[in-house]
């Protein structure tokens, strides 16, 4: 839900050079494709123009299936689940639902699946709890903290009015979560289908994002932490205006490179399975570092958040992209501040101006 296509930066040949895609085609919704022993690739549609699908994984686990991620709550997704579970997955029961992170395209149908099969949701603690917090915003009015955050970024009245009108949308895309879950901890080995899968946690895109690495199969389920053709959204939100998710994101990418070997088959949540993990990690890191340099250069003259969008986005930022563009821009600005390369000053109207040091 919070990804965006950034072809301007990441579809460039340089950023994706050297990656290979071993599968000629993706499964259609309702279908399944074997990508490794006991590992099935599923796809569900997403109702976005830029990002129209999510990949999910079904792992053979004894008599049933462990599912990894669930799709967004829509009637389409429910119908495709029925189809794939009774068809290609052979009508065997779902014994466990694992979610890589809390975004609605990943956790949206977790409550529906776990109730249907009377099984548990497994997730890291911050993903489960953060999802419950965000779902609880549905039905509330936009809080003053949120309005202050976007007003300080330089938003005009119509943009603030649209934020108010759309506040709480997250919960509409998530089926009622289970009221308890099984916590997954970084470094833990989960036994799935008789094989150990190592929990590798990253931060920055979401607070405690889970990847699963199976050394025996040479497979990494990477979630949104490593995508081959898109850069995952790394954003600051009004609940934590001083957060520095970009530094966390960069540290996480480096850490994955140390913990997971280069020769794995990477199973990402968007685009297609690929090989070339370390090359992709290096390209993602250097892409952000280059954007940080450009961001600092543009701050030779003081700028507001809405004045720096062109550093990150080649396309004009429309109303539908404003939250995401603001969040990503603040993430880069906060990272520069933490590195003592920029400062932020509020003017009399409460608008923040950034300048390089």
| Torsion of the alpha carbons at 189, 99, 207 and 199, rounded to the nearest 10 | 10
> Are 211 and 218 spatial neighbours (Cβ–Cβ below 8 Å)?
no
Closest CA to 144 of 116, 175, 167: 167
Q: How far apart are CA 11 and CA 312, in angstroms?
A: 14
Task: Supply the minimum distance, in Å, between the C-beta of residue 147 and Zn ion.
Answer: 25
Q: Which residues have CB under 8 Å from 238's CB, separation 6+?
A: 143, 145, 146, 148, 149, 150
Binding segment for Zn ion (CB under 5 A), chosen from 9-17, 131-139, 219-227, 259-267, is 219-227
Q: Residue 61 or residue 224: which is nearer to Zn ion going by CB?
A: 224
Binding segment for Zn ion (CB under 5 A), chosen from 9-17, 46-54, 100-108, 306-314, is 100-108
> Could you say whether residue 127 binds Zn ion (CB under 5 A)?
no
Q: Binders of Zn ion: how many residues, by CB under 5 A?
A: 2
Q: Write 166-170 long-range contacts (CB < 8 A, 24+).
A: 167/137, 167/140, 167/141, 167/142, 168/137, 168/138, 168/139, 168/140, 169/138, 170/1, 170/104, 170/134, 170/135, 170/137, 170/138
Task: Supply the minimum distance, in Å, between the C-beta of residue 55 and Zn ion.
Answer: 12
In the region spanning residues 103 to 122, those forming contacts with Zn ion, defined by CB under 5 A, are 103
Q: Residue 103 or residue 288: which is nearer to Zn ion going by CB?
A: 103
Give the DSSP H/E element, type plus range, for residue 182: strand 182-183
Closest CA to 204 of 246, 237, 173: 246
The token duo for 102 is 């809390």
- Applying CB under 5 A, among 60, 69, 224, 247 the residue interacting with Zn ion is 224
Q: Residue 152 or residue 225: which is nearer to Zn ion going by CB?
A: 225
Task: Supply the minimum distance, in Å, between the C-beta of residue 233 and Zn ion.
Answer: 7
Q: How far apart are CA 58 and CA 70, in angstroms?
A: 10
For 117, half-sphere exposure in the C-beta direction (CA atoms, 13 angstrom radius) is 22
In the region spanning residues 331 to 350, those forming contacts with Zn ion, defined by CB under 5 A, are none
Q: Which residues have CB under 8 Å from 339's CB, separation 6+?
A: none
Task: Supply the minimum distance, in Å, between the C-beta of residue 171 and Zn ion.
Answer: 16
Q: Residue 224 or residue 272: which is nearer to Zn ion going by CB?
A: 224
Q: Residue 89 or residue 234: which is nearer to Zn ion going by CB?
A: 234
Q: Residue 42 or residue 159: which is nearer to Zn ion going by CB?
A: 42
Q: Residue 130 or residue 152: which is nearer to Zn ion going by CB?
A: 130
Q: Residue 208 or residue 224: which is nearer to Zn ion going by CB?
A: 224
Task: Supply the minimum distance, in Å, between the C-beta of residue 237 and Zn ion.
Answer: 13
Task: Supply the minimum distance, in Å, between the C-beta of residue 213 and Zn ion.
Answer: 19
Task: Supply the minimum distance, in Å, between the C-beta of residue 22 and Zn ion.
Answer: 24
Binding segment for Zn ion (CB under 5 A), chosen from 97-105, 116-124, 179-187, 342-350, is 97-105
Task: Supply the minimum distance, in Å, between the C-beta of residue 103 and Zn ion.
Answer: 4
> Are 113 and 86 spatial neighbours (Cβ–Cβ below 8 Å)?
no
Name the 3-class secondary structure at 338. Answer: helix
Binding-site ranges for Zn ion (CB under 5 A): 103, 224
């Amino acid at each position: 839900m919070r990804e965006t296509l950034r072809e301007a930066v990441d579809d460039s040949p340089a950023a994706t050079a050297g990656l290979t895609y071993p599968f000629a085609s993706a499964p259609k919704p309702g279908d399944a494709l074997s990508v490794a022993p006991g590992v099935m690739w599923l796809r569900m549609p997403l109702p976005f123009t830029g990002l129209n699908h999510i990949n999910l994984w079904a792992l053979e686990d004894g008599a049933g299936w462990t599912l990894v991620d669930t799709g967004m709550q829509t009637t389409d997704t429910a119908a495709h689940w029925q189809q794939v579970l009774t068809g290609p997955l052979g009508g065997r029961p779902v014994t466990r639902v694992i979610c890589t992170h809390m975004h609605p395209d990943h956790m949206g149908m977790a409550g529906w699946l776990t109730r249907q099969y009377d099984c548990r949701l497994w997730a890291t603690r911050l993903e489960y709890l953060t999802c419950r917090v965000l779902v609880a915003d549905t039905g509330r009015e936009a809080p003053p903290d949120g309005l202050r955050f976007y007003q300080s970024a330089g938003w005009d009245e119509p943009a603030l009015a649209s934020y108010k009108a759309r506040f709480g949308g997250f919960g509409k895309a998530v089926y009622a979560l289970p009221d308890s879950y099984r916590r997954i901890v970084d470094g833990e080995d989960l036994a799935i289908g008789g094989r150990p899968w190592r929990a590798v946690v990253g931060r920055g895109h979401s607070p405690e994002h889970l990847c699963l690495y199976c050394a025996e199969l040479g497979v990494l389920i990477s979630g949104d932490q490593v995508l081959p053709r898109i850069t995952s959204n790394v954003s600051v939100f009004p609940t934590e205006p001083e957060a520095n998710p970009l530094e966390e994101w960069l540290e996480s990418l480096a850490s994955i490179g140390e913990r997971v070997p280069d020769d794995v088959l990477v199973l990402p949540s968007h685009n297609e399975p690929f090989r070339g993990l370390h090359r992709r990690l290096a390209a993602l890191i250097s892409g952000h570092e280059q954007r940080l340099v450009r961001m600092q250069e543009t701050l030779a003259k003081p700028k507001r958040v809405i004045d720096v969008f062109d550093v990150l986005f080649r396309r004009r930022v429309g109303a539908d992209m404003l939250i995401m563009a603001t969040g990503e821009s603040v993430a880069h600005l906060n990272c520069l501040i933490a590195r003592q390369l920029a400062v932020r000053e509020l003017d009399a109207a409460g608008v923040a101006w950034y300048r390089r040091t």
